[in-house]
Amino acid sequence: MTAPPTGAPSSDAAALGQENVRAVAAARGLAPEDLDIRLRADASSYTVVLVLFAIAIGWLLIGSIFGDIASLKLHWPDFLTRQSWLTFGRVRTAHLHAVNYGWATAALIGTSLWLTPRLVHNELKSPVAALIGGALFTLGIAVGIIGVLLGFSDGMEWLEANRYTAGPLLVIGGGLVGLSLFRTVAARRAAHLYVSVWYILGAFIWFPMLYVTGKWPTWTGVESAAVNWFFAHNVLGFWLTAMSVGAAYYFIPKVLGRPIYSYQLSVVGFWSLAMFYSLNGMHHLVGGPLPTWMITTSIVASVFMFIPVVATGINLHMTVVGRFGALRYSPTLRFVVLGAIAYTAVSLQGSFTALREVNRVTHFTHWTVAHSHVGGYAFVTFVAFGAMYYIVPRLVGHEWPSARLVRWHFNTVLAGIAIYVVSLTWAGVAQGLALLDARLPFQISVERSLPGLYGRSLGGLILTVGHFIFAWHFWRMVRMPTGAQPGARPPFHEAQPILYTDEAEAGRPQTFRAAAHSDQIARAPAAHDGNVRPAQGTS
């Protein structure tokens, strides 16, 4: 059922494909040499990117199921209590590792490995090292999660995976991927390094520094708390956020076919993110038994986060302004633009939450969990979905098989995360206000948060449905033989007649008509890969 026959002969589909891609590219004003750069870049990253995307989606499903179990346990505490490996504290940790280090990391590493060769106009160097690195990283996460389920935890949040078994696999795996990326950038043919590349390179410098600091085995007492939150907060900002912002900087101008709003703002955004985000972590310990100056430093740095967030926000949002209509037509744009909006929102919410007066209410409540899902899901995961919708068709050579599945995926995850965040944020505020009133017994804080916990389970289950839809669609996509294209309509085609222009359509076999159109709204020359340049300045 995955591959209804089409007119394209499968034997020489590749040759026919090249020919037709060239014809379409020429019709769109793309120079043959530019096309060559793209085709060679994509061919070099093909295996490692597809493998990492498949691994990522596997982790997404596993992480969703762990998350749902953990969520259900919070309001049905007698659910699955007989087995030690299914107790809340272990399942929750398995969820966190599977979605952050499994799903988001694999998806964003895959995206980075695809983006980098395209942006530096060269092939991916050491693709085998990258593939082995990705596999080792995945193995490390699997070892860490199985260990946690069996009761081997190093004890600090976000750092539970065992430092002597999982740790080396993560460091070596990440290092091999980084090696491949740095070699690729070093061998670049493009003179300019686009902003996405800065973030990708930065991520691969920052993550090992953070991980080694966090896992250093000598920390004790309140110092281990400081290191814990130094790591746990920064791993979001310097690993997941860095690669996600890098991807957003690529896909938004790319799909819209217009340059990024301001080069200067992207420089300000990058360096101010590095400076201020790195000092944020202690705001997880407001009021705690640490030297006050440490916490105050982080609160101040959290407020200064307005600078990178507003700079990046203006840059990404102003690139879209005037072209919001395009969101109707491109799943990539929908996911990435919503992700960028969520990034702005979650960052401003974070700055606000760090303020002592707000923190009095929200600290130690479900508010924090809701906040982390705005960042980890509505921002990072949405960007990763958008990236996959763009990249996979270019690797496998055909369009996503079903526009309806894309729409179902989008609608379920959007509804799911909205229900999740609204109900859990509400639960957190109710819980926090009850805790702050010493006349109310603790019981009241539990009872007032309960409706929100049910809402979170509902949202989480809807998200899981969306993930299975996406996984099924991905499976159909990669199983479909090259050259087969049922219907040959890009996602959202029904809403988008403008995509089909006569000169691109006439007389072309279906396969490449669709592939060339995949997700490209504009036919402006600025949409060429590697030409997504800053508006001004070249250095």
For residues 118 and 366, which CB has a smaller minimum distance to another protein in the complex?
Answer: 366
Phi and psi at residue 365, to the nearest 5°: -125, 175
For residues 14 and 205, which CB has a smaller minimum distance to another protein in the complex?
Answer: 205
According to the binding rule CB under 8 A, does residue 187 interact with another protein?
no
Residue 442 half-sphere exposure toward CB, CA atoms < 13 A? 1
Query: Sign (positive/negative) of CA torsion 52, 370, 456, 152?
Result: positive
For residues 152 and 306, which CB has a smaller minimum distance to another protein in the complex?
Answer: 152
- Rounded to a whole number of angstroms, the minimum distance from the CB of residue 129 to another protein is 18
Binding residue (CB under 8 A) for another protein from 36, 43, 168, 292: 292
DSSP code, position 497: G
- Rounded to a whole number of angstroms, the minimum distance from the CB of residue 476 to another protein is 38
For residues 132 and 290, which CB has a smaller minimum distance to another protein in the complex?
Answer: 290
- Rounded to a whole number of angstroms, the minimum distance from the CB of residue 277 to another protein is 9
According to the binding rule CB under 8 A, does residue 536 interact with another protein?
no
Q: Which of residues 200-239 bind another protein (CB under 8 A)?
A: 201-202, 205-206, 209-210, 213, 219-228, 230, 234, 238
* Beta-carbon contacts of residue 333 (< 8 Å; ≥ 6 apart): 251, 252, 255, 256, 326, 327, 386, 519, 521
Is the CB of residue 492 less than 8 Å from the CB of residue 435?
A: no
Binding mask 409-438 for another protein (x = CB under 8 A): ----------------------x---xxxx
According to the binding rule CB under 8 A, does residue 368 interact with another protein?
yes
Phi and psi at residue 484, to the nearest 5°: -90, 135
- Rounded to a whole number of angstroms, the minimum distance from the CB of residue 324 to another protein is 30
For residues 266 and 412, which CB has a smaller minimum distance to another protein in the complex?
Answer: 266
* DSSP-based three-state secondary structure for 404: helix
**Spatial separation of the C-alpha atoms in residues 125 and 33, rounded to whole Å:** 20
For residues 359 and 510, which CB has a smaller minimum distance to another protein in the complex?
Answer: 359
For residues 177 and 413, which CB has a smaller minimum distance to another protein in the complex?
Answer: 177
Could you identify the residue written with the tokens 């040499």?
33
Q: Output the CA torsion 44→115→181→204 (10° steps).
A: -150
For residues 289 and 325, which CB has a smaller minimum distance to another protein in the complex?
Answer: 289
The alpha carbon of residue 112 and the mean position of all alpha carbons in its chain are separated, in whole angstroms, by: 11
Q: Which two tokens stand for residue 521?
A: 């709204």
- Rounded to a whole number of angstroms, the minimum distance from the CB of residue 453 to another protein is 8
- Rounded to a whole number of angstroms, the minimum distance from the CB of residue 362 to another protein is 11
According to the binding rule CB under 8 A, does residue 373 interact with another protein?
no
According to the binding rule CB under 8 A, does residue 84 interact with another protein?
yes
**Spatial separation of the C-alpha atoms in residues 3 and 1, rounded to whole Å:** 6
Binding residue (CB under 8 A) for another protein from 18, 40, 58, 75: 75
Q: Which of residues 9-68 bind another protein (CB under 8 A)?
A: none
- Rounded to a whole number of angstroms, the minimum distance from the CB of residue 538 to another protein is 8
Q: How far is CA 342 from CA 29, 90, 247, in A?
A: 35, 29, 14
Q: Which two tokens stand for residue 312?
A: 């990046």
- Rounded to a whole number of angstroms, the minimum distance from the CB of residue 281 to another protein is 7
Q: Which of residues 439-498 bind another protein (CB under 8 A)?
A: 442-443, 445-447, 450
For residues 31 and 205, which CB has a smaller minimum distance to another protein in the complex?
Answer: 205
Could you identify the residue written with the tokens 């924090």?
368
Binding residue (CB under 8 A) for another protein from 39, 54, 274, 358: 274
Binding residue (CB under 8 A) for another protein from 4, 7, 32, 287: 287
Q: Which stretch binds another protein (CB under 8 A): 44-52, 58-66, 360-368, 455-463?
A: 360-368
Is the CB of residue 251 less than 8 Å from the CB of residue 523?
A: no
Nearest to 453 by CA among 62, 46, 127, 70: 70
DSSP code, position 397: S
For residues 46 and 219, which CB has a smaller minimum distance to another protein in the complex?
Answer: 219
Binding mask 110-139 for another protein (x = CB under 8 A): ------------------------------
Is the CB of residue 251 less than 8 Å from the CB of residue 517?
A: no
Q: Which of residues 137-156 bind another protein (CB under 8 A)?
A: 151-156
**Spatial separation of the C-alpha atoms in residues 240 and 204, rounded to whole Å:** 11
**Spatial separation of the C-alpha atoms in residues 446 and 440, rounded to whole Å:** 11
